[in-house]
Amino acid sequence: MAIHGKTAAEIFDCVRALAQSQQLRSGDSLPPVRDLAVQLGISRNTVAAAYRRLVVAGIATTHGRLGTIIRNQYESSDQEGAQADSPLTDLASGNPNATWLPDIAAALQRKPYTPRLYGEPTVNAGLHRYIQQWMQPDCPAKFDIDLTHGAVDAIERLLNAYLVAGDKVAVENPCFLSSLHSLGAVGLQATGVSVDDEGMLANELEEALRKGARAVLLTPRAHNPTGCSLSKKRAKELSQVLAQYPNVLIIVDDHFALLSTAHYYSVIPETATRWALVRSFSKALGPDIRVAAVASDSATSKELRLRLASGTSWVSHLLQDVVESIVTHPSTTALIEQAKQDYQQRRQTLEQGLQKHGIAFQTNSDGLNLWLPLQGDDQAIALALARRGWLVRQGSSLAVEGEINGLRITISDISPEQCEQLAQDIKRSVG
């Protein structure tokens, strides 16, 4: 297909139309600036300006030497969650175990609903108090509190408020799928930073920031998929790196906070101007709760509120009542403790099974998943496991860049018998 136009606006309109009519498809490369300039008989600056506009509009992305590439905003993509109607044993979902989710009806009985109208304070006073106490020890400075419809919603709104399409965001590699999709949906570019068992690597984060990343999205505990949590030492190193870039937006996705067995170590330096600590209620109270708490500096909070205003501006007080009633009730502490122990027990049983069969896995991990790094092709191994009746998540689908092979196994519902059988089947599939 021919790109035509004499001005940057005309080239922009032409490429946009070609992308919308699918004549240019996701992943297609645009001609090099120099070639198109010669072909159209115009200056390179004009073509470069058109390409910049395409990137800012989220229609294309730049990929270093690969040039400018069309981005499909509407591509369907893999999501977290159970596979409906799968005949396989689903260990790919990333879901919590329903046994450990609190009783919502009982919560509402303890706190009967009173109608709220437009214009009420956006956060329930009681829930605000709870969040204030919860966040206070882990925030680097004075903070404001907001609620969003879950952690992913917070991440997307925060990124959107501070960045423009084409900007780079440093993320863990491999990365939680929904975060990756959130970036892609608004035309942001993920720069992968490797992780080891102490979390994100400080030298790679430094490199990503040096190369222009304007935000970092980091999981301090129970990284998805590897399960690793930040060590005290690593958190300090990361904080030192971030201190050199005070205008970079730091988003800390502490999604497993209520259930984590790891200590929280903060990476946000006191000098950071833009930061947000996000804590979801999804894993402990249930993914359907769709509420996350966000503590952030006041400028970030203001921007987040503006972004919330485009929807309803507040998270339903009915949901807030439920969350408040649950998190402030003494029975919840006991339930969360039981859930923690149960998840740990299931994880240990699977780890022991894997150990017995000589299969390597990520140690000291937390969360609802166990990560098995693999040398070879994880697709072939996932397929071999599917033939034996197991559905697991392929690590390569979570890679931000480069090659990552591994399996992510959700442990929240696995039984001891399944652990033994799965370990045997992995051994056979890998072998």
Ligand X SMILES: Cc1ncc(COP(=O)(O)O)c(C=O)c1O
- Positions that interact with ligand X (CB under 6 A): 80, 94, 150-152, 176, 219, 224, 253, 255, 280, 282, 287, 292
- CB-count exposure of residue 110 (10 Å: 0-12, 13-18, 19+): middle
Q: What is the rounded CA–CA span in Å between residue 82 and residue 89?
A: 10
- With CB atoms as reference, the residue minimizing the distance to ligand X is 150
| Tally of helices (H runs) and strands (E runs) in the chain | 15, 15
Q: What is the rounded CA–CA span in Å between residue 236 and residue 241?
A: 9
Minimum distance between the CB of residue 289 and ligand X, rounded to whole angstroms? 8
CA distances from 171 to 24, 138, 233, 282, 400 (A): 28, 21, 19, 21, 8
- The encoded tokens of residue 58 equal 């989220």
Our CB check for ligand X shows the closer of 172 and 297 to be: 172
Minimum distance between the CB of residue 361 and ligand X, rounded to whole angstroms? 18
Our CB check for ligand X shows the closer of 53 and 157 to be: 157
Minimum distance between the CB of residue 35 and ligand X, rounded to whole angstroms? 42
Our CB check for ligand X shows the closer of 214 and 255 to be: 255
Tell me if 371 sits within 8 A of 351, measured CB to CB: no
Tell me if 170 sits within 8 A of 205, measured CB to CB: yes
Minimum distance between the CB of residue 164 and ligand X, rounded to whole angstroms? 23
Our CB check for ligand X shows the closer of 40 and 222 to be: 222
Our CB check for ligand X shows the closer of 138 and 425 to be: 138
- The encoded tokens of residue 416 equal 């001891």
87 Cβ neighbours under 8 A, 6+ residues apart: 389
Residue 378's closest CA among 358, 356, 362, 393? 393
Minimum distance between the CB of residue 151 and ligand X, rounded to whole angstroms? 3
Our CB check for ligand X shows the closer of 196 and 377 to be: 196
Residue pointed to by tokens 């697709």: 379
Our CB check for ligand X shows the closer of 5 and 94 to be: 94
Our CB check for ligand X shows the closer of 179 and 429 to be: 179
Minimum distance between the CB of residue 287 and ligand X, rounded to whole angstroms? 5
Cis peptide before 174 (omega within 30 of 0): yes
Instruction: Give, in degrees to the nearest 5, the angle at Cα 393 between 389 and 394.
Output: 110
Minimum distance between the CB of residue 139 and ligand X, rounded to whole angstroms? 19
Minimum distance between the CB of residue 367 and ligand X, rounded to whole angstroms? 7
Percent helix / strand / coil, the chain, rounded to 5: 45, 15, 40
